[in-house]
Structure 1
Amino acid sequence: MLENLFNLVKQQAGDAIINNPAIPDQHNETAVQEAGHSIVDTLKNALSGGQINDVLGMFANGQANASAPVVQQATGNFMERLQSKFGLNSSQASGIAQSVIPNVMNQLAQKTANPNDNSFDIQQIFNQLSGGKTAGMNLQGMMNKLKGGLDSDGDGDLDLQDLKAMFSGGGSVIDKLKGMLG
């Protein structure tokens, strides 16, 4: 997954990183890797921090818009890395991060949701992000159920009760999700 993600970042990096004089040519590859690691670290933190609905929703819907919390977190993460590793000012770092991260995350969501594109597999992504804690879970089935609406129990909020409603009788899934969330 990481190799495919870095390739996706390279495809989107163009003027923002590769052709940007603020990032010297010898640091282009490092900047691309930092963008990829920002996305991976943000997704890991989102899953462990209880934002599973945000992450699954992004993949289930096949889109990640710039205003989505997880996209904003990844953008901020990359901005911080650009400032600390390359000495960019906040304006430069913000411009680069906002040009790259939302586009990459949107492409990642689209490719993962597209059944005809096998470059990203939801099960493989979650297994890697969770350190294998999602092995054995039918994440594609979960995504299919999420496409029908996240508030499965109809109480107006998104919580573990929604997952229970989606997977009645699936206590092991709930137990795994609870373990994955910390």
Structure 2
Amino acid sequence: MFEQLTELVKQYGGDAVVNNPAVPNEQNEAVMEEANGSILSGLKEMVASGNVGDLAGMLSGKTPIDMNNPVVAELAGKVTGNLGNKFGLSPDAAGSVAGGLIPQVLSGLVKKAQDPNQPGFNVQDIIASISNGQGGGLMDMVTKYGGQFGLDQDGDGQVGMSDAVAAVSKKSGGLGGLLGKLFGK
């Protein structure tokens, strides 16, 4: 997932970073790298702290990806603080980078996650990336409660990664459909 996130940051970094007069041109690349790392670490922190409900809502496409979204707001705060500390950007300048970049990057991430035809970008990659390969609270919740929501795709009485991949490959709404069933959205 790290590579896909990096691609999205570069794709949407033009307006938010490169064309932003508050960011010196010689710092464009470093600012985008810092934003990328801050977004990934912020997602990991959300899962580690058990804040999977907001993340699941975002990934399911049920909540708008704007500054009112708790996931977006939390990541924007993290990126703003890190850019201010590391590059000396004013709070307004760092905030404009975060506000212009994060909603677009997360929207792109959700589109990729919901696209069953997106090669190399699947449920397993997302969960492994943001949970440090441990499955985190998100996969534990899928396993624990998934059978109650019809997520046992292979009929083995357990909900696991094979069920998540099967649900996505059956074009049942992709990751959004899977998480939507789980969280009743």
For the aligned pair, the TM-score class normalised by the smaller chain equals: 0.7 to 0.9
Matched to 2:46, the amino acid is A
Whole-angstrom CA distance in 1 between matches of 2:59 and 2:106:
10
Aligned length in residues: 152
CA-to-partner distance for each residue in 1:19-60, whole Å, 9 max, x for gaps? 223222222111111111121111111111111122222222
**Local SS of the residue matching 2:60:** helix
Whole-angstrom CA distance in 1 between matches of 2:122 and 2:182:
21
**Local SS of the residue matching 1:120:** coil
* TM-score (norm: length of structure 2): 0.72
Q: CA deviation at 1:143?
A: 5.0
Q: CA deviation at 1:115?
A: 1.3
Contact 1:112 1:122 in 2 (8 A): yes
Whole-angstrom CA distance in 1 between matches of 2:65 and 2:107:
7
Percentage of identical aligned residues: 35
Structure 1 pair 143–17 and aligned structure 2 pair: CA distance change class (3 A): closer
Contact 2:23 2:93 in 1 (8 A): no
Contact 1:127 1:133 in 2 (8 A): yes
Whole-angstrom CA distance in 2 between matches of 1:146 and 1:122:
10
Whole-angstrom CA distance in 2 between matches of 1:29 and 1:35:
10
Equivalent residues in 2 for 1:40-55 (5 A)? 40-55=40-55
2:144 aligned partner = none
Q: RMSD of the alignment, in Å?
A: 2.3
1:109 aligned partner = 110
Equivalent residues in 2 for 1:13-92 (5 A)? 13-61=13-61, 65-66=65-66, 67-92=68-93
Contact 1:75 1:101 in 2 (8 A): yes
- Asked if 1:93 is matched to 2:94, the reply is yes
**Local SS of the residue matching 1:61:** coil
Q: CA deviation at 1:80?
A: 0.5
1:150 aligned partner = 183
Matched to 1:103, the amino acid is Q
Contact 2:63 2:69 in 1 (8 A): no
Return 20-29 or 45-54, whichever deviates more: 20-29
Q: Which runs of 5+ in 2 are unaligned?
A: 140-159, 168-174
Q: CA deviation at 1:85?
A: 1.2
Whole-angstrom CA distance in 2 between matches of 1:124 and 1:149:
19
Q: CA deviation at 1:149?
A: 6.4
CA-to-partner distance for each residue in 1:115-137, whole Å, 9 max, x for gaps? 12235322112112212112853
1:180 aligned partner = none
